[in-house]
Amino acid sequence: MEKRTVINSQITTGSFDEFIENIFDLVGRKKSSYVCCANVHMLIEAYKDNAFNKVLNEADLVTPDGTPLSKVIKWFDKIDQERVAGMDLMPTLLEEAERRGKSVYFYGSTVEVLSKIRKKVSKNFPNLNIAGTFSPPFRPLIDSEDQEVVDDINMANPDILFVALGCPKQEKWMAAHKEKLNTCMIGVGQSFMVFAGVEKRLPLWARNLSLEWAYRLYQEPRRLWKRYLFTNSMFIFLILRNLFPKLYNPFLKKGPSKL
């Protein structure tokens, strides 16, 4: 699948179904790999931090999770790119994993949320093999603890490892564990909470209008207002900065006017 540059990060392009097939291609090749679901917040984090941008650009696949990203790709690259959100990928991958006889593992969030996920998976996908779950503490793991987690996951041998630690923590965690974990890792952020029923998701019409950030802000105003004020403004500024040269190039190429 081809990648296109949005600001200074490489975003994979393709249909939702193509992403599903490519993820299972990584699974089938038993390749230690990781998949990022990029939104505006992630791209701005990558713009501010070259090391994190390297993590993002070295991912096997980077889906255009946010509607603004898919629109920018369509705008600049003339590709009719649909949004490929982690919240849509996760249930579809669970369904396909059950159908294809693959196993899954859930890493992140709380014990309570993981318990709810187990119950919902058992109800909706009764033949799906849950290889394991793990809720890490809210602190960095020491080396011995991390090695124990790696050993436990590899012993469970999941085909797909869903990771929910929040951006940019989950992407850095996946990059740091590539080649250590024999599985395909997918960073899905808030998908655990939504799938478990702890949080509600906006209706489709609101998602199509790119209003999910506003809904998250409504839910957690004190924690998120600064993030969204900065990231959304910075994203718009950077896109416009790239756009204006395209608008003025036709005039600049004509040279000076003849009076």
In a domain, 249, yes or no: no
- Residue 138, Cβ neighbours under 10 Å: how many? 6
Residue 195 pLDDT class (50, 70, 90 cuts)? very high
Kind and range of the H or E element at 127?
A: none
Percent of the chain with pLDDT over 70: 83
pTM equals 0.86
In a domain, 220, yes or no: yes
Average pLDDT over residues 89-110: 98
In a domain, 189, yes or no: yes
In a domain, 8, yes or no: yes
Render pLDDT for 17-74 as a digit per residue (tens, 0 to 9). Answer: 999 999 999 999 988 999 999 999 999 999 999 999 999 999 999 999 988 899 999 9
Q: What local confidence, expressed as pLDDT, does residue 104 receive?
A: 98
In a domain, 241, yes or no: no
Range of the domain at 49: 3-139+154-235
Query: What's the whole-number average pLDDT of the chain?
Result: 88
126 burial (CB, 10 Å; 0-12 / 13-18 / 19+) is: exposed
Q: What local confidence, expressed as pLDDT, does residue 218 receive?
A: 58
Residue 259 pLDDT class (50, 70, 90 cuts)? very low
In a domain, 49, yes or no: yes
Q: Number of folded domains in the chain?
A: 1
Q: What is the DSSP letter of 82?
A: P
**pLDDT above 70 (res 98):** yes
Residue 148 pLDDT class (50, 70, 90 cuts)? very high
**pLDDT above 80 (res 157):** yes
In a domain, 78, yes or no: yes
Sequence letter at residue 131: A
Query: Measured between alpha carbons, how far is 143 from 234 in angstroms, rounded to an integer?
Result: 36
In a domain, 40, yes or no: yes
Residue 246 pLDDT class (50, 70, 90 cuts)? low
